[in-house]
Amino acid sequence: AATDDLARTVHYGVVAEEVVDVVTGEPVDLIETLAERIAQQCLKHEGVQEVEVVVHKPDAPITVPFD
């Protein structure tokens, strides 16, 4: 961080609640769409310039192991 000013941060609790709202909101078929919606919500916060979203699909219908 360029500064130690708490006023220039994003409240993680608020972001977490917003992510829950996105995940439990309008259904999507693709995890890529869900990731994009989560990213767009995070980018609405002032000062947020970049986000990385990882979405896991533990019951993916494939026959090979993956992590």
> Domain boundaries in the chain?
1-67
The answer for residues whose C-beta is within 8 angstroms of residue 45's C-beta and 6 or more apart is: 10, 15
Q: What's residue 48's pLDDT? A: 93
Which residues are tagged catalytic?
A: 57
Q: What's residue 23's pLDDT? A: 97
Confidence of residue 1 (pLDDT cuts 50, 70, 90): low
**Whether the predicted pLDDT of 42 surpasses 90:** yes
Section 24-42 average pLDDT: 97
The answer for residues whose C-beta is within 8 angstroms of residue 57's C-beta and 6 or more apart is: 31
Q: What's residue 44's pLDDT? A: 97
Integer Cα distance of 13 and 32 in angstroms: 24
Section 39-66 average pLDDT: 92
Please give the single-letter amino acid code of residue 19.
Answer: V
